Structure 1
Amino acid sequence: MLTVAQAFEQFMHNLELQAGEDREAKRQERNVFEAMRRHLRPRESILSGSYGRNTAIRPLHDIDLFLIFTAAASGTGEAVGPEAFLKRVKQALEQEFPGKQAKLQNRSVNIEFSGTGIGFDVVPALEDPRRPGIYWIPDVRKGDWIQSDPRKHIEACDAANARATQRLKPLIKALKRWNQLQGKPVPSFLMEVMAYKGIDSFQPDGRLSVYAQGMAHLFQFMSGRIMEQWPEPAGLGPPVNSGVGQTNLLQGQQRLSGATRRAAQALELERVGDMAGANALWRELLGTDYPER
C-alpha cells in the first residue's frame, strides 16, 4: 500500500507535461511568432503565463504568448486603441492560418490548433519607450492600456518556489488540478499569487507528508484571504482579482473552505496510520491522477 507521501510523489509526476507536449508547444510557438513577424513585426516573444512560469499541468491547453512591439511596429505608428490593436492581431492570425477562427478576448487573441488541442493566447505588448522592460498591454473592458511585465511574474514565482525549497510549483500544479475539477471557481493566476504569500507561513511536521500538509495549509490560507485585494506581482497592473465578481469570490471561498475541511480529515487519518483512508480522501479532492492504491 502506498503511503500518502508516495502517492503525492506519483500524483505530482502525473501532472507534469510530457516531453512530446513540450516539444510541440515550442514548435507551434515558433510558428505563431514567425507568422506575426510577417504581418505586424513584433520584436520578440516571451512564453508567459503558467507555461512560462512552469506551473502548467497536463493536458496542455492554452499558452500565453507575449509579443513585444515597438510603437512604430503597431501598424502605422499612430496611437492605437486596445481593441483595434487586438483586432489587427486577430486578422493577422486568421490570414496566416486559413480555416482557423481566432477569438478576441479581453487582453489577448486566442487561436487553437487541431490535432494537439494546444491553443495560444496571443498578448500584444508595446514597450514603454522611457522605461525598458515595462510593457503596455490592451484591456478591452477598461478601454485602455495597462502595464505589465511577465518576466517579473516569472521572477516572483521562482523566488517563492526557492523559499519553499522547490516544493511550491508542484503544490500550485496540484491546486490547479483541484480547481479544474471544481469548475475553476478561483481564477488560476489569483490562486498562484496567493500561494506565493501563503507558502511563507508553512511549517511542516516531519511525521506527515510535506505535500499533503502543504495542500492543507494553502487551502486554509486561501479560504481566509481570497476576499482581500491581491497586488499584481510586478507592481504595475491592477490587482490580480480586479474584475472578479464578488459572487465568484464567495463561491471560491466556499469551495476552498470545503477543501480545507477534507484536507484536515486526510491529515488526521494519515497521523493515525490509516493510509488507505487518507489517500481515498485526497483522491476525492484531486481526481483520478491521484493514485488509487
Structure 2
Amino acid sequence: MGIDDAFDDYQKTVNEDPDKTKLARERRDLFKAALLSEPDVLETFGSGSLSRSTQLRPIHDVDIVMVYDGDAHPGWGVSGPSAEEALEHIRTHVNRLLSQSNGTRDNVVRHTLLRNHAVKCFLDDPDDPQAFTVDVMAVLRQADGTLLIPEQLNTRWVPANPEYLIAQVAERQRDWPHFRPLVRVLKQWRNTVRIEGRIKSLVMEVLAVHCMPDSGNRATALKTFFTAAADRVHEGVWDPAGLCGEIQPDLDREALAAAFTEAADLADQACAAAAAGDTGGALRLWQKIFGDDFPAPAAPGKTAGAITAPALITPRPIKDAPQG
C-alpha cells in the first residue's frame, strides 16, 4: 500500500457516512425553510462545521442562524431581558411549526431547551446521549454585516461573524482540494492527545486555516502544519473574525504545543522514510501519529495480529471516541 492509498483509507474512517451527512443536511434545510416562512425572519443560514464541510463523524447536531428584522423587535440588541426573550421567541416558532404533536409544517421536534446562545431542538429522545439536535440561534444583522447574538446568561447581545470562517474555509478548499478532508483528520487527531481538558474542534480548524499549506501532498502538508502549529498555539487560538476573543481560554497551550512538536518530529521521519523508499516504515510512523485506524504493515520480525507475552498481561490503552 502506498502513502496516498493509506491516507485515502484512513480518511474513510474519519468521514461521516454520506447517507448520514445527507440526512443531517435535510434536517437542517427543513428547519431553514420552515422558519424562513415567519414574517419577522429576513434570512436563515447554516452555521457550524456541517456548513463548512469540516464535520467529523458522528454528526449529532447542526446549527442554524435566523436573522430577524430589527424593526419588528425594537427592544432586541440591547442588554437586559431581550436576550432571553429572543430565545423564547425562537422556541415559540419552532414549537408551532415543527413540534411532534401539532407542528403546522412538520412533526419532528420532541423537546426544546434554551441554551446560552441558541435553542436546542431534540429530534430524538432527549435522554439518549446520541440524540440528534438542531441548534437555532436568533441574530440581528448590523450595517457592517456582523451579527448580534443573544447571550441569556449575561443578559446581553454580543457581536459575531460565523460567515467569515465559512468563507475562509471555502477559499482554502478552492485553493487545495485536500484542505477540508485534512481538517477532519486533525479533528480526529486531537482526540488522541493526552492533555488536561478536551481540545475544541474549532481550535484545530482555525489553526488549520492559519498553518496548513495550500499545495503539495497530504504527508508534507501535515508535517508543515504540525511544525507551524507548535509555534502558533503559544499565542492562543482566536476568533478569526476578530470579534469573539480567544476560542478556548482554558486550553493548555504548552501541552498542545508539545503534542504538535512530537507529531511534527514523527511526520518529518515519515516523510524522510518515504523519500528513502521505505514505505512500510513511513506508514508505521504515520500510524504512531494517528493511531491504529491508520493502515500500516506490521514491523519487520512481527506477525500481524500476533499476541506477544507482554500483551497478555498489559491492558491496551483506551482511546477517546470521536465526538464530532
- State the Cα RMSD in Å: 3.2
Query: What SS class does the counterpart of residue 111 from structure 1 fall into?
Result: strand
Instruction: Give yes or no for contact 2:84–2:155 (8 Å, CA) kept in 1.
Output: yes
Structure 1 distance, partners of 2:62, 2:229, is: 25
Mapping 1:98-117, distance limit 5 Å: 100-114=110-124, 117=131
4+ residue runs over 6 A deviation: none
Query: What SS class does the counterpart of residue 139 from structure 2 fall into?
Result: strand
- The equivalent of 1:207 in structure 2 is none
Match of 1:127 among 141, 144, 168: 141
Structure 1 distance, partners of 2:95, 2:257, is: 40
- The equivalent of 2:249 in structure 1 is 244
Instruction: Give yes or no for contact 1:134–1:148 (8 Å, CA) kept in 2.
Output: yes
- The AA in structure 2 aligned to 1:263 is A
Query: What SS class does the counterpart of residue 223 from structure 1 fall into?
Result: helix
- The AA in structure 2 aligned to 1:124 is A
Tell me, yes or no, if structure 1 residue 225 matches structure 2 residue 243: no
With the length of structure 1 as denominator, give the TM-score of the two structures.
0.78
How many residues of Structure 1 are paired with residues of Structure 2 in the alignment? 278
Instruction: Give yes or no for contact 1:107–1:140 (8 Å, CA) kept in 2.
Output: yes
Q: Which runs of 5+ in 1 are unaligned?
A: 205-209
Query: What SS class does the counterpart of residue 191 from structure 2 fall into?
Result: helix
- The equivalent of 2:182 in structure 1 is 171
Query: What SS class does the counterpart of residue 291 from structure 1 fall into?
Result: coil
Tell me, yes or no, if structure 1 residue 269 matches structure 2 residue 273: yes
Structure 2 distance, partners of 1:212, 1:49, is: 27
Instruction: Give yes or no for contact 1:185–1:248 (8 Å, CA) kept in 2.
Output: no
Structure 2 distance, partners of 1:112, 1:286, is: 33
- Summarize deviations over 1:248-268 as a string: whole Å, max 9, x none: 334433332332233233333
Higher helix share: 1
With the length of structure 2 as denominator, give the TM-score of the two structures.
0.72
Mapping 1:191-202, distance limit 5 Å: 191-200=204-213
Larger Rg: 2
Instruction: Give yes or no for contact 2:202–2:247 (8 Å, CA) kept in 1.
Output: no
Structure 1 distance, partners of 2:50, 2:160, is: 17
* Percent of residue pairs bearing the same amino acid type: 22
- The AA in structure 1 aligned to 2:187 is K
How far apart are 1:25 and its partner, in Å? 1.3
Match of 1:180 among 191, 194, 203: 191
Structure 2 distance, partners of 1:62, 1:78, is: 30
How far apart are 1:124 and its partner, in Å? 1.8
How far apart are 1:37 and its partner, in Å? 5.5
- Summarize deviations over 1:187-226 as a string: whole Å, max 9, x none: 22232222222124x775xxxxx21221122122112111
Structure 1 distance, partners of 2:215, 2:22, is: 37
Mapping 1:157-168, distance limit 5 Å: 157-163=169-175, 165-168=176-179
- Structure showing greater relative contact order (alpha-carbon pairs closer than 8 Å, 6 or more residues apart): 1
